[in-house]
Structure formats: structure tokens, C-alpha cells
Structure 1
């Protein structure tokens, strides 16, 4: 788009577009209680977010059972626990999550200006779509790539490459916006710029340590050079 520095912006989902941790914690604890395990805290769940919900469940079980993550993955009982978690999380999706301030209006403005928008998340597609639909965000995106859409997931650059090829956009005209070191690594591996938000979930580490191109506090930073954007107030 003439006058705007990017023709494609790719966004992480959890902790970037939508605060999802409360309902993820609910689903994890629903599952732990169902299998006679102790509950975990919200902060623990926040710190485990990033590699997809399956891996988050692995980390929770490893913690409460006092074993390593590999033992959980190889346990013959894990598939049944994971299946129960899936049912709980599908029920919880959209119940206690919310888009972060400014997200919806900025996405609408960017799309109206002709910027291609994509979601790239490690969350499995069955949950990604429910969360996006619950907050009426699906129509705002030209492409949604979940953790199981392709053969590999972040920080592998395949999702970025998929979008660049699909939309015919040069790497220097693409931007990744996320909240974690995984997002920064994904952009670096793909050879595109990356901005990182100070809120969200980064496994308990300062996002500045990942050295993104730019650290931003909210979505208003994306309005730079966007024609006729007046930062209206969301209801």
C-alpha cells in the first residue's frame, strides 16, 4: 500500500491479539481436577503459553506429577487426558478471553487501507477458530495459520513464507507482530521485521531480551503513516 511501510502484517494470537490465558487456565484446571490432580496457578499457565495447548498441558502435568515433560508425552494415559482437555477447552473458548485494547479498530483500519493481515499461532486450529469466531475477528484476516495447519510451526518460518508467496509480497514489506521470543525467532528465521508487545506471555522473560526491531506498548504504534487514522475510541 502506497504510503504505508508494510503490505503484510502477521500477528501472533495468544497474548498479542487476544488475552486468552484466563480461559486456558480454566480448561487446564478443569482437566487436572477431573483426573484427581491439584490445580495450577494463573501465572504458571501464563508462563507455559507459547508452544501450543498440547505442550502447555504437558507442562502442567509434569509440574503437578513431579516428573519431566518427556515422561508425560510418553505416558500411555496422556492421550485420554489430552482428549478430556480438548473438550474442556472448546467449552471455555471465548468465555473469559478478550481482544486487547485497540486491536479491533486497528485491524479494521489496516484492512480497509489494503494491508494483508494474517494470524500465525501455535494454537491448534480447532481452538484458534473458536476463539477468533467468539470475538468476531475471523473476517478481518486474509489467512489464519494454526499450529497444525502446516507440517511445522513457529519458530519455523514456513507460515511466513506461505503468506509471502500466497500474497506475492516481498520480505522487506512484511512485519510480524507478537509478544514472545518465539515470535521474534520466527520473524528472524523468515528474514522479516518484527515488533514485540510489552504485554502478553513470554514465558516469564522480558521481551526486550529477544531484541525485536521495535518494542511497542500497544497497537497504536501500527497507525504510523496510516492515512486518515484518527485513533477512535472502542466501546
Structure 2
């Protein structure tokens, strides 16, 4: 089909943000007097939004109580605001691929579970803001992915029908979001999707990277 818009997940799809997320988590844990977490552990915790990341970091023998979780979220917000974009880098070829996507004239947006303020901060630091007139964060709508609301909100903001949208992400939450919204979904095999690799039969296509996704989508340059 001819796609009229494309939505990209951010962390694990366009950028490797794990070093900054890990640094903020470690500083949060240190501030709270709790044991540190490994980079691999934190990588498995990423993908469902800030509150879930913090809760998983604070879950040792048992989940944190409400008071500890609130302290953890506040501490993480403080530390991540200082680290966001410091060590985060685009995956190889992302900038060039986004330029190629943009050259087709297709409407483009970011749809992520990262809070909107942190998303805008990171896009600005990595010089990705010009690619995305529409940005939907994990707190832009009342629900976050895999609920369809963020993706539907992005399509409405782009003034495009969701049926003509292609969503590209790195996790089963991205796949579920697209399925719930009623649009096509391509998945990349890298990123943050837990211990079980994504399979081609779970999505419309498993692509090596977002440049490959563009070739598969067969969008001509303007």
C-alpha cells in the first residue's frame, strides 16, 4: 500500500539512550541508598515509560511502596534531566535515513513512551527536531503505548488517516500499538525488547534498519 505517514519509536529504534538512562538510574539508586543495577538489567527495564523503569529498578525482594516509588521518580527526573543527551547517540545511518524519508514528503512523527519534555530535549540535542513536526511522548495522551491513543493522536496531528500510517519500532509494545491502532508496523531487530528476539511473523516486516524500511515501503523521493 501507499503510506501517507510514518511514526517512529525513539529509544531503541532511532537512538541508543541506554547509557544516559543507566546513569540516571544509578544516581537515583545511590541517592536512595539502594544497590546499583547492571547495564543489562536496566536495558531489560526500558520501553514502558519512566514510571515503569523506575519501579523495576526499585524492585528487589518486593516492589517499592508508593512513597519510595514517588521518591524514585522524582530523583530519576532530576538526574535524567542532567544526563539526557549526554551519551545518547543515533544508531548508525539514522540521520541519513531520516533525510531520505523526509525527501519523500511523507508526514513524520515520533511516538514514544519517554515523557514529552525529555523527548523534546533529546531531539533538540541530537539535532533531530527538524525531522519531526509532531512529537508524542508517554505523557502527551492519558494512555501510553501499547494503547493506540498515542499513535492515533500523532496521526490526527499530522492530519493523516491511521490506516495509511506505518509505525516503526523495536519492541512488542510497538507492534501491539500499531495493531491496536489499525496500521502497518515494521520492527527493527536491535534495541530494547527483552531477552526474546523479535520474529518476522510478529509484524509486517522485520527490517535491518530504518533505511531498509524506506526501501521496502517503496516511497519515491519528491
TM-score by length of 2: 0.92
Pairing partner for 2:47 from 31, 47, 50: 50
**2:133 matched residue in structure 1:** 142
Equivalent residues of 1:50, 1:203 under 8 A apart: no
Pairing partner for 2:220 from 186, 202, 227: 227
Tell me how far 1:38 sits from its aligned partner.
1.0
1:167 and 1:27 map into 2 onto residues whose CA distance is 33
* Largest Rg, 1 or 2: 1
The count of corresponding residues between Structure 1 and Structure 2 is 220
Tell me how far 1:149 sits from its aligned partner.
0.4
**1:86 matched residue in structure 2:** 77
Tell me how far 1:113 sits from its aligned partner.
1.9
**Within the alignment, does 1:109 sit opposite 2:106 as a pair?**
no
2:73 and 2:43 map into 1 onto residues whose CA distance is 19
**2:16 matched residue in structure 1:** 19
Equivalent residues of 2:186, 2:213 under 8 A apart: no
2:80 and 2:201 map into 1 onto residues whose CA distance is 30
**2:59 matched residue in structure 1:** 62
Aligned residues: CA RMSD:
1.8
The verdict on how the C-alpha distance between 1:168 and 1:128 changes in structure 2, with shifts beyond 3 A counting, is closer
1:167 and 1:138 map into 2 onto residues whose CA distance is 15
Where structure 1 has 5 or more consecutive residues not aligned to the other structure, the ranges are 230-235
1:171-190 to structure 2, matched below 5 A, reads 171-190=162-181
Where structure 2 has 5 or more consecutive residues not aligned to the other structure, the ranges are none
